[in-house]
Structure 1
Amino acid sequence: MPALRVSELRSPAGHLVEGVLGDVLHRAARQGPDDLLLSTPATGGTWTAAQLLADARAVAAGLLADRAPGARIATCLGNGPAAVLLQLGVALAGMTLVPVNPRSRPAELEHALRLSGAVRVFAAEDVAGNPVADLCAGVDGVEVVRVGADWRAALPEAAPGELPVVDPGSLAQVQFTSGTTGRAKGVRITHRAMVLTGHAFADRLGPTAGRVWCNPMPLFHTAGNVLGVVGALWARAEHVVLPFAPGPVLEALADRRVTMLSAAPTLLDLLAAQGPPELPDLRVLFTGGMTVTPAFVDRVEQVFGARLSITFGMTETCGSVLLTAPTDPDPVRRETVGAPLAGTEVRIAGPDGAVVPPGTPGELWVRGERITDGYLDDPAATAAAIDADGWLHTGDLAEMDAGGACRVVGRLKDMIKTGGENVSPVEVEEVLAEHPDVARAAVVGVPDERWGELVVAFVVPAGGRDPRPDELTEHCRERLSPFKVPRSWRVVDELPMTASAKVQRAELRRIATAAP
């Protein structure tokens, strides 16, 4: 790739024939009907491509028996076969999927079901102690289908007839944002966006990722049901779906001879804490959702003996904007989140919207057919996020190098202003991650009359370590300007995270400012 004079890049779109999710499923069944495409270790189920297509068509026919194309069907399920078959069946039926976090509380469930206009919700009886189906039953006007241990009996099935023709631009999903501040917004995702993203994701990972993908990422989120379900279909890989728990995941990695594992950084930490696993088939680890430091990359690759591929994305971008490839040079893999996925325009913009020079921080803007066209029934929020030229203003601060790889350096709203100086939380977090006593860190600013804001650090100890504030302070002083060094320290067992594995900085600010 030639050197860029400006921090703007349009990634090639590629050439796709398939335009809707059903096309990708039919393609997989056509090219390898006997290929194993889905396995669910928790239930003991396996599906070849032909079986997966047949079951998804039966589910679609069952849905169409009493609902018309365009109906909105919600799921509130843990990871398992029901979630996958419903996603595929809803798509084949030309309906819209509304995947909802099964750990949602009553008010959150009601908000999601009402905002989306869901007419039916397939809800688990229980997920991690949350009585999901009972909570959904409290929402008036929504039919609740209870999904228990006999999950297949809960799925609607009928003899497949002719299925509707689905427009690539039609609404495939309404996904809910993480809701770190305010009520969650419903993100509109089209079939075209999902298909393009799944294809671009699988293509960037390439053959290095192999043919068995383990996915314990939540299927109610784009990381699980776009990058996971659609990406694996494009790759025609066996998609190993299961809830996350360190023991079962490690067992599945060995038993299924997994070649790629998708897991948030916190999940990788939990797996690594079990001890170096013997996984000779594992080639690629895929992660994202929070700051990934070079020290983290080195540690994870050493423990697992596989290449780490890092993404940066959001629900509005189907889970990924930028992605490192397993074959990228070490400096790109360790220090950046890669180049834009195919079909994506990226701009690093200054305060006036003009493109900034390479290596200069600015706001990350993205545009393309993979990007949402807005928020459901919320024109004000849509106009605030997407400008008249179609650029989504992410609110993230990033810089692009001359080769097109990007480094995310923070959030505009998370920038700390202390004594008239700007402090990037990410910069301080990366320094803290280098300390052997620290497994993970998050930095926030809290109000202060004299300085405007003070820098506060939350640190999670590395295994068996006891971080001392005085030692951490000295560590930072040796590497950072004085105004960037945290003034207050909190040692915690874990950081508060969103469902998409992002640190809840608003919650950390609340904790930091609360009376002791």
Structure 2
Amino acid sequence: MPATVLSELRSPAADPGEGVLGDVLSRAAREGPGDLLLSSPGTGETWTAAQLLAAARAVAAGLLRDRPPGARIATCLGNGPAPVLLQLGVALAGMTLVPVNPRARPAEVEHALRLSGAACAFAAEEVAGNPVADLCAAVPGVDVVRVGDDWSAALPSATPGELPVVDPESLAQVQFTSGTTGRAKGVRITHRAMVVTGHAFAGRLGPVAGRTWCNPMPLFHTAGNVLGVVGALWARAEHVVLPFAPGPVLQALADRRVTLLSAAPTLLDLLAEQGPGELPDLRVLFTGGMTVTPAFVDRVERVFGARLSITFGMTETCGAVLQTAPTDPDPVRRGTVGAPLAGTEVRIAGPDGDVVPRGTPGELWARGARITRGYLDDPAATAAAIDAHGWLHTGDLAVMEPGGACRVVGRLKDMIKTGGENVSPGEVEEVLVEHPGVARAAVVGVPDERWGELVVAFVVPAGGPGPSPLELTEHCRERLSPFKVPRSWRVVDDLPMTASAKVQRAELRRIAAGAP
């Protein structure tokens, strides 16, 4: 009998050679000073590596003129060059960045600024109709710098002298979780975590990703400002930053001859519906934030003519733990979220905490340099998420395949218990989107006196009125055990999403339960 192979894997560490974000920028400027590293289709501006380093140093000097190293600087901005230069300048100054969602509501803005202790906030006048600067100005004790169309005039600038030496273990950012339930927690992210994650991400993509990366992912989130900003610096790629809108993004892909596009699955769906046309330079699509199906992988690769790379991660892991490579075999790319990134340990644990055999579902745990140092001013939440041995308990259910790649099959807290049986929402959703009339689907459980919970499905039609509940029921019955088939159907125009493009299941449960 062959020995049981357990679901635990340590990916070999790859020393990036640099410890803090400023070092990665300096390396890029040293190795290729004339390389184009940042471009803004919205303003028409570009920066070479040497110019970007000089601009970031000037921002750092301007910040240090008014505040000491260690100060916390908030940004509440839409995508563009300003948040990138502020991120780099804050890092060089030895300060801590606090990126805030520019579409956040007043209570969310106040919570982020107060919890982080931000001394200053660089805020747009408005983003998508949200009066961001006014919301920040309403929080006592925060100096607000209003950033309008002339964004460069709003950024601090001074002749740089000697900048502080920054400790790799010092706090680089406080980012806020998506907040699908309860108040958002402040996630503490170190310089080392950002540097090793950006390095591993760029390494997993490899040369096939090319040297022009388009990033419409939000720059207040790890997908945008760690995987995007830091990853592009490591790759010495032109980082094309702009807000997401299908038309401008498709135009940028053609005009900048983009080789890699980062976009959440829902955004890729929207672009695919537009019909991207011929994009001969595009080689890789990068996505994450929610489970995708083999059918989704096949469709977007066919529409865009590029390979898909998928990541699993969360704010607490700098955005990435597992990732498929564009060169992975089809079964890995189509059916998993890949193997652990360099320097990461992954374990699939059973309810007792013991490692389960490969092929057996359990909770995904992760450990390594990219893991958060905990939640800001919340030791109880930190202890609940990270155990005494440094393992982050993600709350995600996963299966490790024989080769080491992992499949995420659901969330522990999202597991539906009906009639004594467990139902994984992800399994039902995967079956639903196989129906040609379904574009997207989300499944939740609602309390029921007799069954414990009932399975409720929310369906976004692929076009027109979509399939009937009877048709969808029959579709599921052919593919699922009876207890997994949804008992109630809701046809909706779209699914409520968080800022990081994750389905707000708590909101769907509220709607399904008939709450006002």
Q: TM-score range by the shorter chain?
A: over 0.9
**Partner Cα distance (1:131, 1:66) in 2:** 26
Give 1:239's aligned residue.
239
CA contact (8 A) 1:285 1:309 kept: yes
| 1:477-492 correspondence runs (5 A) | 477-492=477-492
Residue identity in the other structure for 1:53: L
Shift of 1:277: 1.8
Give 2:445's aligned residue.
445
**Partner Cα distance (2:206, 2:467) in 1:** 40
Shift of 1:66: 1.1
Residue identity in the other structure for 2:272: A
**Partner Cα distance (2:446, 2:106) in 1:** 31
Give 2:54's aligned residue.
54
Shift of 1:4: 7.9
Residue identity in the other structure for 1:26: S
Give 2:289's aligned residue.
289
Give 1:129's aligned residue.
129
Give 2:316's aligned residue.
316
**Partner Cα distance (1:26, 1:180) in 2:** 38
Structure 1 residues 47-79: Cα deviation after superposition (integer angstroms, max 9, x where no partner): 000000000000000000010000000000000
Residue identity in the other structure for 2:111: H
Residue identity in the other structure for 1:8: E
Structure 1 residues 362-393: Cα deviation after superposition (integer angstroms, max 9, x where no partner): 00000001100100111010001000000000
Deviates more, 1:3-12 or 1:59-68: 3-12
Give 1:9's aligned residue.
9
| 1:147-186 correspondence runs (5 A) | 147-186=147-186
Shift of 1:467: 2.0
**Partner Cα distance (1:317, 1:354) in 2:** 22
Percent of matched pairs sharing the same residue: 88
**Partner Cα distance (1:457, 1:467) in 2:** 13
Q: 1:127 to 1:515 in 2, by over 3 A?
A: closer
- Detail structure 1 runs of 4+ shifted over 2 Å in the superposition: none
TM-score by structure 2 length?
0.99
Deviates more, 1:242-251 or 1:4-13: 4-13
CA contact (8 A) 1:414 1:425 kept: yes
**Partner Cα distance (1:268, 1:233) in 2:** 24
Give 2:327's aligned residue.
327
CA contact (8 A) 1:4 1:404 kept: no
Secondary structure at the aligned position of 2:413 is classed as helix
**Partner Cα distance (1:491, 1:393) in 2:** 34
Secondary structure at the aligned position of 1:39 is classed as strand
Structure 1 residues 8-31: Cα deviation after superposition (integer angstroms, max 9, x where no partner): 001111122100000000000000
CA contact (8 A) 1:284 1:308 kept: yes
Give 2:77's aligned residue.
77
CA contact (8 A) 1:467 1:491 kept: no
**Partner Cα distance (1:342, 1:42) in 2:** 35
TM-score by structure 1 length?
0.99
Q: Does 1:391 align with 2:391?
A: yes
CA contact (8 A) 1:197 1:370 kept: yes
**Partner Cα distance (1:314, 1:458) in 2:** 24
Secondary structure at the aligned position of 1:389 is classed as coil
**Partner Cα distance (2:515, 2:23) in 1:** 56
Structure 1 residues 257-301: Cα deviation after superposition (integer angstroms, max 9, x where no partner): 000000001101110111242101000000011110001001111
Matched length? 514
**Partner Cα distance (1:170, 1:116) in 2:** 15
Give 2:306's aligned residue.
306
Give 2:205's aligned residue.
205
**Partner Cα distance (1:275, 1:69) in 2:** 48
Secondary structure at the aligned position of 1:165 is classed as coil
Q: 1:372 to 1:4 in 2, by over 3 A?
A: farther
Give 1:261's aligned residue.
261
**Partner Cα distance (2:195, 2:508) in 1:** 36
Secondary structure at the aligned position of 1:409 is classed as strand
CA contact (8 A) 1:4 1:402 kept: no
Residue identity in the other structure for 2:151: W
**Partner Cα distance (1:383, 1:515) in 2:** 33
Structure 1, unpaired ranges of 5+: none
**Partner Cα distance (1:370, 1:269) in 2:** 30
CA contact (8 A) 2:250 2:276 kept: no
- Root-mean-square deviation (CA, aligned residues, Å) is 1.0
CA contact (8 A) 1:366 1:392 kept: yes
CA contact (8 A) 2:279 2:304 kept: yes
**Partner Cα distance (2:389, 2:373) in 1:** 12
Give 2:402's aligned residue.
402
Q: Does 1:67 align with 2:49?
A: no
Give 1:36's aligned residue.
36
Q: Does 1:459 align with 2:459?
A: yes
Structure 1 residues 19-47: Cα deviation after superposition (integer angstroms, max 9, x where no partner): 00000000000000000000000111100
Residue identity in the other structure for 1:66: D
Structure 1 residues 298-342: Cα deviation after superposition (integer angstroms, max 9, x where no partner): 111110000011111000000011100000000000000000111
Shift of 1:237: 0.2
Shift of 1:465: 5.8
Structure 1 residues 348-370: Cα deviation after superposition (integer angstroms, max 9, x where no partner): 00011000000000000000011
Q: Does 1:101 align with 2:108?
A: no
Residue identity in the other structure for 1:145: V
Secondary structure at the aligned position of 1:441 is classed as strand
Secondary structure at the aligned position of 1:114 is classed as helix
Give 2:115's aligned residue.
115
**Partner Cα distance (1:170, 1:179) in 2:** 25
Shift of 1:464: 4.1
Secondary structure at the aligned position of 2:271 is classed as helix
**Partner Cα distance (2:466, 2:422) in 1:** 30
